[in-house]
Amino acid sequence: MSEIERGSSMPKEGVVPAFDAGWNAHEVGLERNTVSVLAHPTGREWALMGWDSRQLVADRMREDG
């Protein structure tokens, strides 16, 4: 699969570390539930948002072919 880039509405890399962690966790194949369990409570929502965002972009790329 080609490199998946973040959309302009997403935080730039390095701005929200928990978002980066969720985005990167998705790239290495971790499941959403794993991210939820392993994320620090103060950053869990950001980490899940990063994971979900990466999933949505990947889904869209598959649909577009």
Rama region for 7: left / alpha / beta (φ>0; ψ in -120 to 50; rest) = beta
Domain spans of the chain? 17-64
Q: How far apart are the C-alpha atoms of 33 and 23, rounded to whole Å?
A: 14
pLDDT greater than 70 at residue 1: no
pLDDT in tens, 17-54: 999 999 999 989 999 999 999 999 999 999 999 999 99
- In terms of Cα–Cα distance, which of 50, 65, 59, 63 is closest to 6? 50
Tokens 């929200």 locate to 16
Structure tokens at 13: 């890399």
End-to-end CA distance of the chain, in Å? 11
pTM: 0.89
